[in-house]
Amino acid sequence: MENNSSPSNKSLSPILLLVAAFAFCLILGGITLAKKYAPKALASKERHIVRSVASSPLKGRTARVDPELLKIGETTFNTLCVACHQPGGIGKVGFAPGIRNHDFLALASDDYLRNTIRAGRPGTAMVPWSALSEKELAGVIAYLRTGNEGYVSELSQDPEKKIAGAAGKGKITFETYCAACHGPNAEGYAAGGSGPGIGLAGFLSVASDDFIMQTVKHGRSGTAMLPFVGSKGLANLSESSVGDIIAYLRSLPGKPVVAEAKSTAPPDPKAGKMHFDANCMACHQPGGTGKAGFAPSIRNRDFLALADDDFILKTVKQGRLGTAMLPRPDLSDKVMADIIAYLRSVPAKTVVNVSVDQSKKFKGDSQQGHSKYTSYCLACHGDKGTGYVAGGAGPAIGLAGFLSVASDDYIYQTVKLGRIGTAMKPFIGSKGLANLNDQDVYDIISYLRSLN
Ligand code: HEC
Ligand code: HEC
Ligand code: HEC
Ligand code: HEC
């Protein structure tokens, strides 16, 4: 068994190298971006006077941070937040905002951050992180604020200030200047926007009038959100027309796209693509092609042949505990039906004619299965099937999230068929990678089921 496992371990190293190289590129990209924006922010001293931390609205909070707390925060960020907010928290246009941006942090109080992280933003990919411990939450906030050092923005806001305006006029101004990026009804990414959902309840419940005013006045340096007010602004808007926009945003129902009433309309793959891009693309990649070592391909012909709608629906609603696949119970049945229609709209060159018998149960020997798993599967699926977390190229097939939705036959057929275009090859029979027989696979399934 020991001898068998070493060659397959070797086959892992090129994959690990690739993953490492990719991570390195991401970090390098982050550093380049940070370098690109930092001097610009410092140069425009008229608007962003670099002040001492003590005189900033942060009141020296960033001056002395417990290094241990910071470490917890950094780890939390890099485990839970990085997939969407990107390395260094720089954000990604059309997907998630930058959250270590000094203009943003100057306006956002600790309470703003705390409430946003705890409650999430319903209807967006920002799910509530209610399970974070107090320490992790404090740590992650401290970590976000360290991105701010040296570039403290002079922006401040008065959370109590109420700004009056005319919603009707605001609607027209919004549609002229903001809708192109924030969506026609300010629903943000889910409506195909490049900016966040500033008309949704999650944002409006934490952002004060003045937070919005200051953001629109000064913009957010280094992002597509430019200053809009005054002669130097993008649109020479007056403060009173921003007041109108704020009144308009506050007049919106604030309901996320996903909370709509039961719909009888047939599933719409076009709408599904929009929801996919807003909620799933950061991990599953554009077009759902997946990324080895990170997230599986879910618009894959072979995957879709084996996974029925219920498999996909359950996976998304329950998530997969212990992996980056977070539960999304907030997505409505209509949104999920649209997403599934989009996934299934992939043009299949060759139809795969397999069906999965959900009720089939195979008998296997879990001990035999353990040694076969170690020889043939461990290199990619990790020790005890923990997948990506263990540095594997493939998903966590030994964890409860997967095993509770995947039937024995789903696993068997996947091993038999492989998954075209991915590292998951067919393993059964003389044409298979390992010439396994059916009983070998039954044993492996029995081993996987014995893990939880
Ligand atoms: C060219 C695209 C674009 C336009 C036009 C635009 N925005 Fe933005 N806006 C963005 C992006 C992108 C962000 C997120 C920036 C980041 O990564 O932090 C943003 C952020 C914001 C935020 C902060 C939201 C939050 O979650 O903290 C507010 C408020 C805002 N915009 C209001 C407006 C208003 C009002 C207008 C019209 C006057 C407008 N924007 C026009 C792209 C745009
Ligand atoms: C699956 C993707 C995803 C993950 C993971 C995620 N976020 Fe977010 N986050 C978003 C999106 C999308 C938004 C903007 C939603 C909107 O308002 O349209 C957001 C908004 C935010 C904001 C508000 C930013 C602003 O401009 O107002 C904060 C703060 C934040 N996230 C912190 C976190 C932290 C901390 C974590 C990790 C514990 C995390 N997020 C994990 C997607 C994600
Ligand atoms: C060379 C690497 C590699 C080896 C070896 C390998 N797999 Fe995989 N496996 C993958 C990858 C990568 C995926 C995800 C493919 C994708 O992107 O959709 C996968 C997917 C799967 C899935 C589907 C999981 C899901 O979430 O739907 C099952 C089941 C599976 N593998 C079982 C096995 C078994 C059993 C073995 C051993 C006989 C094995 N694999 C060996 C790389 C591998
Ligand atoms: C933050 C990253 C992330 C986001 C966002 C995300 N996923 Fe996933 N998803 C994953 C990972 C990682 C896995 C594999 C988990 C494992 O190891 O079992 C996965 C697994 C899946 C699977 C099972 C695939 C298989 O091979 O069995 C489906 C279906 C799926 N995701 C659908 C979605 C949909 C639909 C969305 C958007 C609503 C989404 N995911 C958003 C990371 C993500």
CA dist 291 and 281 (Å) reads 11
Pick the atom of ligand 3 nearest to 427's CA.
38
Q: Is 177 in the pocket of ligand 1 (CB under 6 A)?
A: yes
Q: Is 94 in the pocket of ligand 1 (CB under 6 A)?
A: no
**Which is nearest to 132 in space by CA: 142, 119, 146?**
119
CA dist 294 and 112 (Å) reads 31
Residue from 299, 380, 409 whose mutation best tests the ligand 3 pocket (most atoms within 8 A of CB) = 380
The position carrying tokens 């704020």 is 246
Residue from 181, 189, 203, 237 whose mutation best tests the ligand 1 pocket (most atoms within 8 A of CB) = 181
pLDDT tens across 304-357, in order? 889 999 999 999 988 888 788 888 888 888 999 999 999 999 876 666 788 899
pLDDT tens across 411-441, in order? 999 999 999 889 999 999 877 778 899 999 9
* Cβ-proximal residues to 28 (8 Å cutoff; 6+ apart), any chain: none
Residue 279 burial (C-beta neighbours within 10 Å; 0-12, 13-18, 19+): buried
Question: CA separation (Å) from 83 to 3, 93, 106, 126, 280?
Answer: 37, 14, 24, 11, 11
Residue 341 and residue 276 in contact, taking contact as beta carbons nearer than 8 Å: no
Reported as a pLDDT band with limits 50, 70 and 90, residue 261 is very low
pLDDT tens across 75-118, in order? 999 988 988 899 999 998 888 999 998 889 989 999 999 999 99
Residue-averaged pLDDT of the chain:
82
pLDDT at 257: 53
pLDDT at 348: 66
The neighbour count for residue 94, using CB atoms within 10 Å, is 17
pLDDT tens across 380-406, in order? 999 999 999 888 899 999 999 899 999
- Nearest-CA residue for ligand 3 atom 37 is 377
* Cβ-proximal residues to 150 (8 Å cutoff; 6+ apart), any chain: 50
